[in-house]
Chains A and B, each alone.
Chain A
Amino acid sequence: MALKALDIYKLLPKKNCKECGDPTCLTFAMKLAAGKADIELCPYLDETAKSVLGATTRPPIKQVKLGVGERSFAVGEEFVLYRHDKTFYHPPGIMFRVLDTENEEEIMAITARVRDETLTRVGADLKFNGTAIVNTSDTVEAYAKAVAAVEKTAGLPEILVSDNPAALAAALVLCGSYHPVICAATPENYKQMCALAKQHGCRLVVRAPSLEALAQLTKDCVAEGVTNLLIDPAPQTLGDFITRSTTIRQLAITRAVPDLGYPVYLDATAFDDEDAAIALGIVKYASVIVTSPLSPASAKAALTLRQNIYTDPQKPIQMNPGLYRVGTPGKDAPVLMTVNFSLTYFTLQGYLESSRVPCFMLIVDTEGLSVLTAVAAGKLNETLVRDAIKKFGVESEVTHRKLIIPGYSAPLSGRIEEATGWKVLVGPRDAAEIGDYLHEEWKS
């Protein structure tokens, strides 16, 4: 069981010396309780206290950073089995696989996709995260060539997939300084793999067919001096993956088996239906998912699912406030005001588009709160609307002065009229009815 802030505080020096970077020991204690600080930062703790506190305050799933530079990303540092208990913090990296038996052009094209392809959704740019280079040929030269081709194209996080230490060594000459992931160490070869990993500061995927063996293996690798580990529970079926990954997550967050407290690695290409494995990996705790270069449809679905599941349930996604156009609205087009909660925006926009009435959407800043909540909390008010009209120059876009407001914000209608001088029309409560509403009620 994780320690509470108060209990941690009791074990701290209580000097408020600020050397850990926090203004008070209380603040430091709260951060430790949330797994958001490193116990090592306190210079006045003895080793016993540090190891006791460390064991119970460090994130139950180790944070592992992949790659260097702009496209590097972190995984791990997770605390919950259900996203609704807090949130999932680090979305899994999706890595496109290239085989060293493919020709150079193909390899470069795939790498370029990872480098450039972007899906923009709800104001976020979603991308794939790196490449997994597989030593299918089992030769050293082909492997080195393949890695070189990838390196030439982009500086992305890489996973080197090979059981041939010589091939790995050759590849590491080319990319070792970028701390790639080596895949994989097994109970049979881990000493060799650890040596390679240590040499170049690599992350290491460890693979074993049972959770017992995995726990032992991570222990052994740590003893060899390699701590940035990822676990591959070697699933042969989707059923294997869900049971093993769930078990690992639960045993890690309850601190029942700290040796399993590492991010999970999933090779989706090993499954008949790769999309199924990807979707399963995203919802069930995979931190790194290797896939073949995805079709446009698969790519969109995967990136969207990842974005959805890894959204913080307590922080609604917000749009930037502003005046948005639907179609090509003219000077007499309707102006519909609503909140900047992304879901509200996109839902309304969708219905407005199908209504085929060109119009403006005036999106005001309610800090992501929905209409009902924003009205109840007083965040959606006449001042906000008045200021938004001024700030986004709405009065120069249309000649009329009629504002349509969401049905649930009806209580504000009079005050908005007074504050803005515009006439307020109260629209439907349900966005689905906006099409009918505009066709029946709107006259500029």
Chain B
Amino acid sequence: MASISREFSYEDTAYHLPVSYALTGIAVHDRSTASEVFTKTGSNPLVAAECLLAEATAAEGKEPAPYTGFISDTVIRKLGYSLVDGSILGLALLVGTPKSAESAAAICRELQEKYMLTFLSGGVIPSLSSAGVKLGLDYRLIPLGSKPLHSVHFVDIVARVAMMFGGVSPGDTHRLLTYAAERAKAIVIVFPGLSDEEIAFVDGMRVLGFPILSLGEYEGGDWTPATPSDVVRTGMDIKGIRVTVTAIPIPMACSPAFEGKSIRKEEMQVEFGGGRSPAFELLRMRNPGEIEDGKVTVIGPEIGTMKEGAAYPLGIVIEVSGKTMKKDYEPVLERRIHNFINYGEGSWHVAQRDLIWVRISKEAFSKGVKVEHLGKLLASKFRMDFPQLLDAVAVTLITDQDKVLAGKKEAEKIYEERDARIKGMRDNDVDTYYSCTLCQTFAPNHVCVITPERPALCGAISWLDGKIAYEISPSGANQPVEKGALVNAQNGEFEGVNRFVKKASHGEIERCSLYSVMEFPMTCCGCFEAIALMLPEVNGIMVVNREYKGMTPSGMTFSTLAGTIGGGAQTPGFAGISKNYILSERFLQGEGGIERLVWMPAQLKEELKPRLVPLLAAKGHPDLFEKIADENTAATIEDLTAFLARVGHPALAMKPLM
């Protein structure tokens, strides 16, 4: 700093010397301020470079074209705009002197194709010009200056974007560094030819979280070595810059409009599975770096060798990776294979797991659609629909009989593991439940609290669904609910749940018992599958489902009850539930257990019978099923009273309900 002798400033900026200004809040224009910031930032090489370059520019003037030197705020504003709106995915700095002009040109081409904005400094600029590469803002290749030191403009651009767009106040070092590390999508590629001083200077950019990829023989240090063919990909991967997929490169139209279209026997070219041949589908998670994004492999014969109208084996194996991808999400993503294949105009898919049935139409075949294209469709759609979650998707389609059979065996093991995991999940195993507000349009104060043993009252969403939905869309309809301290174990009342419900209902509901019908039951919207309600006369609880249109012993039909308890109300004695909840351990726990159940419509009884009878037996009530009345055995409360006494229903002897 001692060498600085004059005053200096850049004209077209409100940010003085942006890097120094952002780091310290000090406007640097002369030696004393330069010394001040240099000291304040612990002799930071970037700050030093910035001050020295500013002074040099003031003394000698800007370098001639094509070099841009310091770029004005107006242009930076436009640049920042493109970063925010997504027309530019990120920034790259190329510094040094490449050994081969052609490979440098190839790197630039790749950056352009991937919507990166590239800044250049040093020998790479004349090198590219000699290879005939056009430079300038229009080409997204910006030549900052003839020396590596001019790279400091790259840093002052990032600093200005942080201050203009990132809410970073000048002097808020911490915020600036966080912004640079987490939000700024910037990578640095270093060619050979840097002096030690220049190396130290470039290395100073690491503090900003910019990955530094080295194409030269720089030893020691934390730079990532790379080759010209993988340097761009590696850099973008490290920084998490992903190119969004927009097109599906197959000879077949693909749209949700085709989802319901079926392919009849006469229309199909080939089919797979459906009981006619072995088939399965499986989605697995892999570690980042283990798979190549977009890779599609067909193992076995292609459609060209298949006989028209015949059935062939098929294994669909999707491998995905992503920084936030979890094993739990595998089944959720796997379910999408069905939708995606159906979006194809000439492809059709039914069922799931090892029961799938897939067809490709004659029309699609005549247009050139192959088995491989199904893979491309799947790879593209998974990336398009889960841009944040998945970084890479690779698809393998197996049509070789032996390999399909082997793969199917492995898949079946995995399906079993998954089922066991979900079955075994208990409320006590987790600290977080999930809420759902999807039906709040009709019931402003209603919120479902979903636990592993208590699915949403609409029957459509399980605890796992809620968890995954939250992780994929953190601002969506499913939010985490911290359980908090236990208030009442039998009723399933928790402090955290109470707090959550109170907030979500704007203070209307203060307490919520997850397992009780009588005390502080959960609120209901209107889309519950069934209603559990008290019948005080017989000291029991009855259940009626939506499909049952007749009268119940309560004196009310489902529809009357639904009208009164819905709309976000908490009605002690009444709870809206899903049908599957009846089979849960927690059903009626607050009231003493399933022994309270006295009446259910006959059709619902039949529907639940295969699972309910063994469940009751396991609980020590092998004959309880017959003691639960229905509209045939007891239509009115009087009939029910008599019936229950006759069969000796346990509810009659239990603690009074109220």
Contact = CB atoms under 8 A, between A and B. Distances in A.
The answer to whether A and B touch directly, with their CB atoms under 8 angstroms apart, is yes
B107 to A, nearest CB: 42
Contact of A86 (B259, B561, B567): B567
Given A10-B658, A24-B554, A26-B536, A418 B567 contact: no
A426 B638 CA distance: 54
Contacts of B442: 313-314
A364 to B, nearest CB: 16
B261 A34 contact: no
A412 B261 CA distance: 8
A26 B561 CA distance: 11
A121 B316 CA distance: 54
A4 B554 contact: no
Nearest to A85: B444
Contact of B261 (A6, A86, A409, A414): A414
Interface string A154-184: 0000000000000000000000000000000
B555 A27 contact: yes
Interface in A1-42: 4-7, 9-10, 14, 16, 22-24, 26-27, 30, 33-34
B526 A16 contact: no
Contacts of A27: 554-556
Interface string B78-122: 000000000000000000000000000000000000000000000
Chain B contact-residue range equals 20 to 34
B352 to A, nearest CB: 16
A417 interface: yes
**Interface-centre pick from B257, B444, B566 (highest chain A CB count, 10 A):** B257
A123 interface: no
A350 B256 CA distance: 25
A422 to B, nearest CB: 14
The secondary-structure label for the interface of chain B is loop
A16 B260 contact: no
Contact of B260 (A4, A23, A314, A411): A411
Contact of A414 (B260, B566, B637): B260
B9 interface: no
Given A9-B536, A34-B564, A24 B555 contact: yes
B555 A26 contact: yes
A14 B526 CA distance: 28
B658 A6 contact: yes
B572 interface: yes
A415 interface: yes
B573 interface: yes
Given A10-B658, A30-B556, A410 B257 contact: yes
Interface residues of A, number: 34
A7 B658 CA distance: 10
Contacts of A314: 442, 526, 566-567
Contacts of B536: 9, 14, 26
A129 interface: no
A84 interface: yes
B529 to A, nearest CB: 11
Contact of A24 (B518, B561, B637): B637
A413 interface: yes
B629 to A, nearest CB: 16
Nearest to B260: A413
Contacts of A5: 564, 571-574
B258 interface: yes
Contacts of A424: 260
Interface string A309-320: 000011000000
Contacts of A416: 260
**Interface-centre pick from B261, B535, B571, B637 (highest chain A CB count, 10 A):** B261
A26 B554 contact: yes
B626 interface: no
A201 interface: no
A84 B444 CA distance: 7
B259 A411 contact: yes
B636 interface: yes
B537 interface: yes
Interface string B525-542: 010000000111100000
Given A24-B637, A30-B564, A86-B567, A415 B555 contact: no
A407 interface: yes
Contacts of A30: 556, 561, 564
A417 B567 CA distance: 38
A415 B658 CA distance: 51
A33 B561 CA distance: 13
A10 B657 CA distance: 11
A5 B638 CA distance: 21
A244 B34 CA distance: 67
Interface in A213-270: none
A23 B572 contact: no
B262 interface: yes
Interface in B428-477: 442, 444
Nearest to B444: A84
Interface in A370-414: 407, 409-414
A57 B258 CA distance: 54
**Interface-centre pick from B555, B556, B564, B574 (highest chain A CB count, 10 A):** B555
B564 to A, nearest CB: 5
Contacts of A9: 536, 573
A413 B555 contact: no
Contacts of B561: 30
Interface in B236-263: 256-262
B569 to A, nearest CB: 9
B652 to A, nearest CB: 16
Interface string B497-538: 000000000000000000000100000001000000011110
Nearest to B527: A377
B636 A414 contact: no
Contacts of B537: 14, 16, 24
Interface in B335-370: none
A417 B572 CA distance: 48
Interface in A411-443: 411-418, 424, 426
B261 A407 contact: no
A179 to B, nearest CB: 32
B298 to A, nearest CB: 27
B262 A417 contact: yes
Contacts of A409: 260
A371 to B, nearest CB: 13
Contacts of A6: 518, 534, 571-573, 658
Contacts of A7: 572
Nearest to A377: B527
A4 B523 CA distance: 13
Contacts of A418: 262
A314 B567 CA distance: 8
Nearest to A408: B256
Contacts of B257: 407, 410, 426
Nearest to B568: A85
A426 B260 CA distance: 9
Contacts of B262: 414-415, 417-418
A79 B266 CA distance: 62
A414 B638 CA distance: 50
Given A26-B555, A27-B554, A412 B567 contact: no
28 contacts: A4-B571, A5-B571, A5-B572, A5-B573, A6-B518, A6-B571, A6-B572, A7-B572, A14-B536, A14-B537, A16-B638, A23-B555, A23-B636, A26-B536, A27-B554, A33-B564, A33-B571, A85-B567, A86-B567, A314-B526, A314-B566, A413-B258, A413-B261, A414-B260, A414-B261, A415-B262, A418-B262, A424-B260
Interface of B: 256-262, 442, 444, 518, 526, 534-537, 553-556, 561, 564, 566-567, 571-574, 636-638, 658
Given A16-B637, A26-B556, 8 more contacts: A5-B571, A5-B572, A6-B573, A26-B535, A27-B556, A85-B567, A410-B258, A410-B260
Q: Which 6 A-B pairs have the closest CB atoms?
A: A414-B262, A23-B555, A413-B260, A24-B555, A27-B555, A426-B257
